[in-house]
């Protein structure tokens, strides 16, 4: 049985980069948390995920987004539908 490492989501440090908070590298977000950080709707997150703009991790029926990887991807592909 594979298990994912337990990540402490409550104790993160952050700094501002281009208007977006950059947090510790182990920050995994739900689609609702990611939508709040990006100030978009949850539906936009779902669409961008489906269209391949957002990298994500899926284990069983749980989907999480790695915040630093999402930021990197958005900087590489800044124009979304």
Residue with tokens 């995920």: 49
In a domain, 8, yes or no: no
Alpha helices in 1-81 (DSSP H): 31-38, 42-50, 67-76
Q: Report phi then psi at 79, rounded to 5.
A: -95, 110
CATH number at residue 36: 1.10.10.10
Number of domains in the chain: 1
**Residue 52: which domain range?**
22-76
Residue 50, CA distances (Å) to 26, 35, 38, 45, 63 in order: 23, 15, 17, 8, 12
pTM of the model: 0.66
pLDDT digit string, tens, across residues 12-58 = 445 555 555 555 667 899 999 999 999 999 999 999 999 999 999 99
């Amino acid at each position: 049985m594979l298990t994912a490492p337990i990540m402490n989501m409550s104790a993160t440090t952050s700094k501002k980069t281009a208007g977006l908070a950059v947090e510790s590298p182990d920050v995994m977000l739900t689609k609702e948390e990611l939508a709040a950080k990006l100030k978009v709707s949850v539906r936009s997150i779902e669409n961008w995920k489906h269209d391949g703009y957002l990298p994500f991790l899926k284990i069983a029926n749980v989907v999480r987004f790695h915040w630093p990887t999402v930021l990197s991807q958005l900087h590489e592909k800044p124009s979304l539908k």
